[in-house]
Chain A
């Protein structure tokens, strides 16, 4: 399969400036156009292992990220993200372009991909045991996710679980893992050989940087898998590592609350999430040290019926 790493930076720029660069990201084909060098180099760094397709294909999202053709180009330059000509957010500073692209793609998926139940969570898999790690911002979900991936877990997503409604299967969509503030240094020190993109300073979320998904996760980005566990991670300074069972009904309530499109799917959504809870072991994980958290995750066995 043709991957982005086989393209020169000039070719990537030409595509982005012309009819678009067709990125195959899990179940989504994304056609990206942009005249910004930061986007070209960011894609080359973070999406190197991803396949691409030519512009005559079907694309799920047509996205553009550019500076407007006004004075804004020079004076406090800003970038707009647009999907099929529509701009869902306010413009943001130009040096956040790469982060804006990632947020924009998340927006596209969350707003259109209702063929899936979408849960705000990280998803990782090892030895056929896939774990859904829901967590609000600040729970340390992305940091733990990056550390698990550094330890050979397969990345499905650091941001949302995509669950096929008919089959209940988790659909991988490994994209760059978003790290914030101190997490960037923590992961840089923890994960030898991690490919970390440029930092965006002073965003709404503080300093943001993205880690490229490992090639093994990208190679298997079309291999779906049933979920085995739902684990609610919580980073707590100085805390010993503890894994506690969480009741099924509590888990379901929390999943409904973390589900982006539960209201939009109605009965189908509730039945789908109930099936996830039925199928999975349900736990909370409190940790302060990444190694202990990972060790606890590796002790999780497949529930009897998976």
Chain B
């Protein structure tokens, strides 16, 4: 069976022609991709809800309802964070899901995520950590190995958990790991943050938000939600591309932030998977950063497999292997090999013993 999530995303009208059997597959594929609630909003925006048979519609509504409450919880969390940051001379800069939600971006609806992510200048980390402690956020219990790993090699503090609310907070000081071959400057990102109306809450600039989403997808190794992430990126680009100049701006900004390679891949797969018209420009402009042809062939194979075969009903041969290769690749991008191998071995051993 084909990937109906991609089909319905590219053309929501087409879903109204699905057979009941196809709806059954679509609901399962969307649930697996964490997109069920998002599709409720997509169908709603296209005025198609009335054309969906009642059984699948019930699943979309139930997921939507749940995601809606989740959004309320995250807004509450943001409100609490902004109260803590009021007492600091530091901006509260939200990243990823929390930022989409606070800025009411089209891709915020239907996301369900565990952590709130924020970006803080490295020099302000101690001050921020102390203030967060005063407001009830404490480091979650992790092993001594993980603690050392986070402090030394990671781009974020060990995750913090609120004592009463149990919610998780990730405090980042960079958007990629310090050991990664890519090196986007946090200072440059913080210099262009944007304040949300009637609040003391900030997000990254649109180009930076999109580039961050791209780096997260192509360098973080969590390919279980690759399809959801790619759809996120597409929705963000379409939202901000009102003057049709966004692809060019992304290319310029990617050069400043040292993120050209991930941008190249993102544009390539947005074009290949969603047939995104805007992607040609973004993909073609920076020919100098293009990977060589063999590497492109290999990556095409890995990404397309990982993205399109996310559910057993549409899985191709080798999808698991592809995801594993991407996982190793993501780690390779983040860490030098002599640190990576012991780390992966330790993690593999830990998973085994649990």
Residues of A within 8 A of B (CB): 29, 56-60, 62, 84-85, 112-115, 165, 261, 263-266, 268
What residues on B are CB-neighbors of A112 within 8 Å? 59, 62
**B63 touching A59, Cβ below 8 Å:** no
Complex CA gap A115/B40 in Å reads 14
B74 to chain A, nearest CB (A): 12
Given known contacts A59-B24, A84-B28, A84-B32, A264 and B69 CB-to-CB distance under 8 angstroms = yes
B20 (CB) vs chain A CBs: closest residue: A58
B288 at the A interface (CB under 8 A): no
**Complex contact B62–A84 (CB within 8 A):** no
Known contacts A56-B21, A58-B20; A114/B65 CB under 8 A: yes
- Minimum C-beta distance from A25 to chain B (A): 14
In whole angstroms, how far apart are the Cα atoms of A158 and B55 in the complex?
24
Of the candidates B21, B23, B69, B311, the one whose C-beta lies within 8 Å of that of A265 is B69
Within 17-42 of B, Cβ neighbours of A (below 8 Å) are at 19-21, 23-24, 27-28, 31-32
A84 to B31, CA, bound (A): 10
Contacts of B47 in A (CB 8 A): none
Among candidates B20, B27, B59, B72, residue contacting A57 with C-beta atoms closer than 8 Å:
B20
Out of A56, A62, A263, A264, name the residue touching B20 (CB < 8 Å): A56
Q: Which one of B27, B62, B65, B312 contacts A85 once the chains associate, using CB atoms below 8 Å?
A: B312
The complex places the Cα of A62 from the Cα of B32 at a distance, in Å, of 13
A266 to B72, CA, bound (A): 9
- In the complex the two chains form, is A114's CB within 8 Å of B31's CB? no
Judged by a CB distance under 8 angstroms, whether B114 is at the interface is: no
> In the complex, how many angstroms separate the beta carbon of A60 from the nearest chain B beta carbon?
7
A58-B23, A58-B24, A84-B32 are contacts. A266–B69 as well, Cβ < 8 Å?
A: yes
Q: Tell me the bound Cα distance from A113 to B53 in angstroms.
A: 17
Q: Apart from A85-B311, A112-B59, what 8 extra A-B contacts exist at CB < 8 Å?
A: A59-B24, A84-B28, A84-B31, A114-B63, A114-B65, A115-B58, A115-B65, A266-B69
CB contact between A62 and one of B23, B28, B63 (< 8 Å): that residue: B28
Whole-angstrom distance between the alpha carbons of A29 and B65 in the complex?
21
| Closest Cβ–Cβ distance, residue A2 to chain B (whole Å) | 18
B59 touches A60 (CB 8 A): yes
Is A265 touching B65 in the complex (CB atoms < 8 A)? yes
Q: Report A-chain residues with C-beta under 8 Å of the C-beta of B32.
A: 84
Interface string of B247-282 (1 = CB under 8 A from A): 000000000000000000000000000000000000
- B66 interfacial by beta-carbon distance below 8 Å: yes
Write out, one digit per residue, whether chain B residues 61-98 have a CB within 8 A of any chain A CB (1) or not (0).
Answer: 11101101100100000000000000000000000000
Cβ-defined partner of A115 (8 Å) among B20, B24, B61, B312: B61
Q: Which residue in chain B gives the minimum CB-CB distance to A57?
A: B20
Binding site for A on B (CB under 8 A): 19-21, 23-24, 27-28, 31-32, 53, 55-56, 58-59, 61-63, 65-66, 68-69, 72, 311-312
A-B contact pairs, 25 of them (CB 8 A): A56-B19, A56-B20, A56-B21, A58-B23, A58-B24, A58-B27, A58-B56, A60-B55, A60-B59, A62-B28, A84-B28, A84-B31, A84-B32, A112-B62, A113-B62, A114-B66, A115-B58, A115-B61, A115-B65, A261-B66, A263-B69, A264-B65, A265-B65, A266-B72, A268-B65
Q: Roughly how many angstroms separate A57 CA and B56 CA in the complex, as a whole number? A: 11
Chain B facing A: main interface SS: helix
Complex interface: chain B residues within 8 A of A264 (CB): 65-66, 69
Task: Tell me the bound Cα distance from A236 to B68 in angstroms.
Answer: 42
A115 neighbours in B (Cβ, 8 Å): 58, 61-62, 65
A165: chain B residues at CB < 8 Å are 65
Once the chains are docked, how many angstroms separate the CA of A57 from the CA of B23?
Answer: 9
Nearest B residue to A112, CB-CB: B62
A261 and B69 CA atoms in complex are apart in Å by 11
Nearest-neighbour CB distance to chain B for A24, whole angstroms, equals 12
Tell me the bound Cα distance from A65 to B24 in angstroms: 20
| A270 CB, min distance to chain B CBs, angstroms | 11
Max count, chain B CB within 10 A of own CB: residue among A57, A58, A264: A58
Cβ of A58: which chain B residues have Cβ within 8 Å of it? 20-21, 23-24, 27, 53, 55-56
Report the bound CA distance from A214 to B277 in whole Å.
60
- A112 vs B27: C-alpha distance when bound (angstroms): 12
Q: Complex Cα distance A37/B292, Å? A: 56
Q: Which residues of chain A have C-beta atoms less than 8 A from B312's C-beta?
A: 85
CA A29 to CA B23, docked complex, whole Å = 14
Does B21 contact A114, Cβ atoms closer than 8 Å? no
Of all A-B residue pairs in the complex, the 8 with the closest CB atoms, nearest first, are: A114-B62, A266-B69, A58-B55, A58-B20, A115-B62, A58-B24, A264-B66, A114-B66
Cβ contacts under 8 Å, B65 to chain A: 114-115, 165, 264-265, 268
A280 to B47: give the CA distance in the assembly, Å: 38
Chain B residues positioned under 8 Å from A56 (CB to CB): 19-21
Min distance, Cβ A54 to any Cβ of chain B, angstroms: 10
How many whole Å from B158's CB to the nearest CB in chain A? Answer: 26
Task: Name the residue in A29, A60, A113, A263 with the highest tally of chain B Cβ atoms < 10 Å from its Cβ.
Answer: A60
Q: Which residues of A contact B27 (CB under 8 A)?
A: 58
Query: How far is the CB of B291 from the nearest CB of chain A, in Å?
Result: 34
Contact A29-B28, Cβ < 8 Å, known A264-B66, A264-B69: no
Contacts of B63 in A (CB 8 A): 114
Most chain B CB inside 10 Å of its own CB: which residue of A59, A113, A114: A114
Q: Tell me, in angstroms, the Cα distance from A143 to B65 when the chains sit together.
A: 34
B residues near A266, Cβ cutoff 8 Å: 68-69, 72
Looking at the assembled complex, report how far the CB atom of B312 sits from the nearest CB atom of chain A, in whole angstroms.
5
For A113, A165, A261, A264, the residue with the greatest tally of chain B CB atoms inside 10 Å of its CB is A264
* Interchain nearest-CB distance for B127 vs A (Å): 34
Chain B residues with CB under 8 Å of A59's CB are: 24
